[in-house]
Homo-oligomer: A and B are copies of this chain.
Amino acid sequence: MIYFEDIEVGTTQSFGSYEVTREEVIDFASKYDPQPFHLNDEAAAQTYFGRLSASGWHTCAMTMRMLVDSMMERKAASLGSPGVDKVRWLQPVYPGDTLRVESEVLSKRQSESKPQMGSFQSEMTVYNQNNEPVMTMVSIALMRVRADAA
C-alpha cells in the first residue's frame, strides 16, 4: 500500500493507454455534451475541430480512468479529491487517438485538522499517439497517512 508519506515532490510518472473510439465519443457527447461538433463529422467540419472530436469532459473522464487504474495497480490509499485546477483543453481528441498521461508531483501537505490524511497536487499532461499534449490539469488528491504515524 502506498501512503501519503510515500509521495515525493518532483516524482514523475507515466501511465495509461486509452483508445478513443467513435462509438464512445458519440455516446458520451449524446449524454453530456450534445453540441453538434461532438456528435457528427458534418457539423464538426464547419468548426475549428475539423472533424468529430471528444467532449473536453470526456477527455477528463478518460484521464480519470487511466489515473484510477494506475492508483489501483499501485494500491494507493486514496481518499478522493476536493477538486482540480487549471484544466486546459489544448488540442482536439479524435476517435482513433490513443491517450496516455504524464504526471509530476508539485507539492504535498499534511492536514492540520485531520492528521490522518494529507493532500498533494500533481500536474497531469495527457498526450495523444503523436506525443502532442491534448490536455493539462493540476489535480488535488487526498491520501491516508500510515496508521502508526497518524
Contacts and interface: CB of A to CB of B under 8 A. Distances in A.
Interface residues of A, number: 32
Complex copy number for this chain: 2
Contacts of A72: 34
Contact of A78 (B35, B60, B64, B86): B35
A47 to B, nearest CB: 7
Contact of A47 (B68, B80, B81): B80
A127 interface: no
16 contacts: A28-B61, A32-B62, A33-B61, A34-B68, A35-B78, A37-B80, A47-B80, A48-B79, A56-B83, A60-B60, A82-B88, A82-B89, A83-B86, A83-B88, A85-B85, A87-B87
Given A34-B65, A61-B61, 6 more contacts: A28-B61, A31-B61, A33-B68, A35-B80, A83-B88, A87-B87
